[in-house]
């Protein structure tokens, strides 16, 4: 039995559940948007196999699970805590979140991915430090709240500057001019992450343990994830063996069984790595390329 942990309102969660049903794989959706009201969990810390998950009129024991697929827990709650006291509402939400994380940590089965393995995504600078120890190149990067340093970086890169999030909460990437840069730094005290724009073709690599699904993305947009879908062309490709092996290596180094590695290939054959996503929205790529990512995940979660 595969447990899919995610909100029913999440497109990737719905897509994976549907694919599992088509493949005839036993699965149950643990709708996190209904936790901890309609959906409830119990776990005995002294016995990892003695927990249960219950729905109205039904329940399963954790010992029945061969694997659990976990979506992004930072976005799971579609409901607000009903406490009138704001401080109490915050405390209730924290209690629910910690309970859920503890429950998932104690599951005695394959978990894709365990909560502890997702922490690297909360700091893109940390990810960069790990990635640069391998064969991938990384863009020139500056994290600063100093306008003079930002201006110098802008001039050194010929004005080809990308502004992007340094945390796990992405707001996309965008090309910024000097005026935008000065305005950005004048209205905030916290540092911003700036990167030199690297010309080339985007490649998304989904890693399922040691299986590789690489997709070349052709788009004129700075951030293809925010472009109109009819402006994007996706193509399944084969990567050089060394590049594929490096994607597997860094995925394992971050403690992940499943990842989305964002690369860019330059015209002279160099590969830059931007990040390793522990909760990739793989449905977008599978639907458009026919890659069997869901099959690989099913096999991993059922022990095949």
Contact 121, 276 (CB under 8 A): yes
| Closest alpha carbon to 35 in 66, 84, 90, 78 | 78
DSSP-assigned states of every residue in 58-79: EEEEGGG-SEEEE--GGG---S
Q: Is the pLDDT of residue 228 over 90?
A: no
Choose which CATH entry (3.30.160.40, 3.40.50.150, 3.30.470.20, 3.10.450.50) describes domain 119-135+199-302.
3.30.470.20
Rounded to 5°, angle at Cα 160 from 157 and 162: 115
Separation between Cα atoms, residue 143 and residue 55, nearest integer Å: 46
% of the chain with per-residue pLDDT over 90: 42
Asked: is 2-112 a CATH 3.40.50 domain? The reply is: yes
> Cα separations (Å) of 299 from 61, 201, 296?
21, 31, 5
Say whether pLDDT at 45 is over 60. yes
- At 197, the pLDDT band (50, 70, 90 cuts) reads confident
For residue range 135-151, what is the model confidence (pLDDT) as tens digits? 999 999 888 888 888 88
CA distance 37 to 55: 9
- Partners of residue 177 on adjacent β-strands: none
Instruction: For residue 18, give both structure tokens.
Output: 């549907």
Structure confidence at residue 78 (pLDDT): 45
DSSP string spanning 251-265? Answer: HHHTT-SEEEEEEEE
- Spatial separation of the C-alpha atoms in residues 121 and 141, rounded to whole Å: 17
User: Token digits for 138?
Assistant: 């990384």
Reduced 3-state DSSP string for 36-63:
CCCEEEEEECCEEEEEEEEECCEEEEHH
Indicate the average pLDDT of the chain.
85
Q: Among 100-114, 164-178, 258-272, which range has the highest average pLDDT?
A: 258-272
pLDDT at 79 exceeding the cut of 60: no
- Is the pLDDT at 281 greater than 80? The verdict is yes
Report the candidate in 297, 285, 263, 279 with the shortest Cα–Cα distance to residue 131.
Answer: 263
Angle subtended by helix axes 147-156 and 178-186, to nearest 10? 160
Report the Cα 298 to chain-centroid distance in Å.
18
Tokens of 93: 């939400």
Which of 69, 101, 17, 122 lies closest to 257, judged by CA?
Answer: 69
Report which of 300, 293, 223, 235 is spatially closest to residue 262, judged by C-alpha positions.
223
Spatial separation of the C-alpha atoms in residues 229 and 210, rounded to whole Å: 29
pLDDT greater than 70 at residue 31: yes
Strands 2-6 and 110-112: unpaired
Average pLDDT over residues 173-200: 76
């Amino acid at each position: 039995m595969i447990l899919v942990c995610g909100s029913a309102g999440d497109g990737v969660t719905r897509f994976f559940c549907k694919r599992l049903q088509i493949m005839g794989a036993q699965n149950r959706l643990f709708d996190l948007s209904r936790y901890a009201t309609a959906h409830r969990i119990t776990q005995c810390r002294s016995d990892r196999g003695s927990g249960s998950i219950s729905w109205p009129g039904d329940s399963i024991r954790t010992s029945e699970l061969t694997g659990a697929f976990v979506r992004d827990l930072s976005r799971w709650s579609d409901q607000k805590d009903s406490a009138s006291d704001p401080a109490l509402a915050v405390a209730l939400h924290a209690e629910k979140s910690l309970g859920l994380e503890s429950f998932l940590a104690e599951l005695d089965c394959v978990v894709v991915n365990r909560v502890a393995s997702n922490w690297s995504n909360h700091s893109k600078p940390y990810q960069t430090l790990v990635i640069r120890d391998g064969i991938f190149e990384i863009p020139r990067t500056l994290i600063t709240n100093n306008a003079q340093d930002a201006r110098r970086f802008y001039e050194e890169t010929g004005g080809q500057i990308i502004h992007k999030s340094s945390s796990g909460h992405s707001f996309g990437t965008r090309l910024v001019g000097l005026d935008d840069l000065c305005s950005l730094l004048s209205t905030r005290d916290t540092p911003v992450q700036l990167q030199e724009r690297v010309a080339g073709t985007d490649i998304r690599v989904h890693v399922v343990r040691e299986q590789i699904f690489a997709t070349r993305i052709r788009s004129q947009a700075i951030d293809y994830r925010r472009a109109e879908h009819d402006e994007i062309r996706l193509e399944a490709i084969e990567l050089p063996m060394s590049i594929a092996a490096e994607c597997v290596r860094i995925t394992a180094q971050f403690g992940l069984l499943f990842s989305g590695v964002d690369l860019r290939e330059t015209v002279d054959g160099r590969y830059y790595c931007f990040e390793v996503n522990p909760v990739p929205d793989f449905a977008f790529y599978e639907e458009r390329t026919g890659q069997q990512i869901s099959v690989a995940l099913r096999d991993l979660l059922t022990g095949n």
